[in-house]
A and B are shown apart, each in its own frame.
Chain A
Amino acid sequence: MTDTDTKELKVKDKQEVSTSAEQTRPGLVFTPEVDIFETEKELVLLADMPGVQTKDLNIDLRENVLTLTGDIAPFEGAEEEDILIEYETGKFYRQFTLSEVIDQERIEAALSDGVLRLTLPKVEKATPRKITVTAG
């Protein structure tokens, strides 16, 4: 977070998903960019999903596979004509395999300004415990 002050943002092409399974509905599917970091107690995932509303966001965790899906409602009005199109819109989809044991009951998700913040608390036994060796 320190070096961002001076850095210029570069434009990046949105990454399209390349999966073996095809979609039943036509349309583009993109991979959201994510930051994932962990602290002693939890794993936090931040994902850029611009245009996704809370009701269209789907988060699924089963058998250590976390799936994020976000649908996009079309923005353009019916009367609008394209002049310049630099990016495409479409669904967001990404899957992660979690190595940590997650306390599913306490998962929190918040979506604000198009960024999803998912907090995945580790279960008690997975939090590191310092073991002191007693001389005996």
Chain B
Amino acid sequence: MIYRRLFDLPTWRVRSPFEELERMRSQMDRVMEGFQGAPAFRPTAGVFPAVNLTEDKERYYVRAELPGINSGDLDIQVTGNNLSLSGERKTGVDVEGARYHRREREGGRFSRIIGLPGDVDPEKVDARLVNGILTVSITKAEAAKPRQITIS
């Protein structure tokens, strides 16, 4: 979203020659990304974990990739229309005399609140953590479910 603003309103900023190059580079990136079938701009909240939110007629589904997290280290709460996920990821190993070649996996605490687009039934929330993928399915409130209307 911030990118959109930068692209559409270039005049209110101080211009520099590097800025122009930078802009060209990001536009090229965007074109290249488009070729590979990925959406050119992905809105991210910048908060761990990245989530995918989908819906069907009955439920909302929130999915997040949380490899290496035990279900005990995860706290999920639904308050009103907000789903909060918090927990801790531990990546340390208890091996004596370990010497690292690479250390790319990161550990730490996280917490995030995801606003759901419609009303939900807080009593009917189901969370599963399988193979490092968390799936929270939240039943929509009766009022938020789509209703087929027949023409009489």
Residues in A lying within 8 Å of B, measured CB to CB: 1-2, 4-12, 16, 26, 28, 33-40, 44, 46, 48-53, 75-77, 79-88, 111, 113-115
> How far apart are the CA atoms of A80 and B42 in the complex, in Å?
19
B24 beta carbon closer than 8 Å to chain A: no
- The size of the chain B interface, using a CB distance under 8 A, is 58
B31 beta carbon closer than 8 Å to chain A: no
Minimum Cβ distance to chain A for residue B4 (Å): 16
A37-B93, A37-B101, A50-B67 are known contacts. Are A84 and B53 too (CB-CB below 8 A)? yes
B102–A35 touching, CB < 8 Å = yes
Chain B residue nearest to A47 (CB atoms) is: B105
Question: B67's contact among A26, A36, A48, by CB below 8 Å, is which?
Answer: A48
Main secondary structure of the interface of A (DSSP, over half): loop
A77-B56, A79-B57 are known contacts. Are A9 and B103 too (CB-CB below 8 A)? no
A11-B46, A26-B37, A80-B56 are known contacts. Are A113 and B129 too (CB-CB below 8 A)? yes
User: How many pairs of residues, A versus B, come closer than 8 Å at their CB atoms?
Assistant: 166
Would you list which residues of chain B between 44 and 91 have a CB under 8 Å from chain A? 44-57, 60-61, 63, 65-70, 88-91
**In the complex, chain B residues whose CB is within 8 Å of the CB of A38:** 98-99, 101
B133–A51 touching, CB < 8 Å = yes
B36 beta carbon closer than 8 Å to chain A: yes
A83-B54, A84-B51 are known contacts. Are A9 and B131 too (CB-CB below 8 A)? no
**In the complex, chain B residues whose CB is within 8 Å of the CB of A26:** 37
A48-B105, A85-B42 are known contacts. Are A4 and B90 too (CB-CB below 8 A)? yes
**In the complex, chain B residues whose CB is within 8 Å of the CB of A12:** 106
**In the complex, chain A residues whose CB is within 8 Å of the CB of B135:** 75
